[in-house]
Structure 1
Amino acid sequence: MSTSQPDASRPSPDRVTPDNLLHTRTGTEVSPEDMVLAAGRDLTPRNLEWARRKLDEEGPNAIEKLLP
């Protein structure tokens, strides 16, 4: 029985994603749907209204507060 070596090109499961890949802003508008999904919530009318209020109050950078 042979033992195989893990493929060195595959990322390790405990490897941390670099910070520059975690930013969400791509120059496009942040939609209420984006906010709801980033918060881990279901797309319901109540959650969409929450997201609209959050975007109105905090602007598109509000999504950055929800993600690492």
Structure 2
Amino acid sequence: MTGSLASPGTLLIGRYDAAGQLFQPIEPEVVVEFRADTAIDAGRYRHPVRHLRVRTDLRPVDVLVVGQDHD
């Protein structure tokens, strides 16, 4: 993320290496709400993702991970 937490300029979802693999995963510490359109090109958002707010009412364990099975 660039800029301050209260007013980020850019929110990076992930960085890829030359082989197309994500760099080392991290443990989530905070939940944020963001806005993105559905335009995806080669598995990446085509337009910038916009930070809306920090969700102090949620913990990372409260959020479902997209693409994983949930019971």
TM-score, length of structure 1 as denominator length: 0.23
Larger Rg belongs to: 1
- Flag the structure with more relative contact order, 1 or 2, with Cα contacts below 8 A and sequence separation at least 6: 1
TM-score, length of structure 2 as denominator length: 0.22
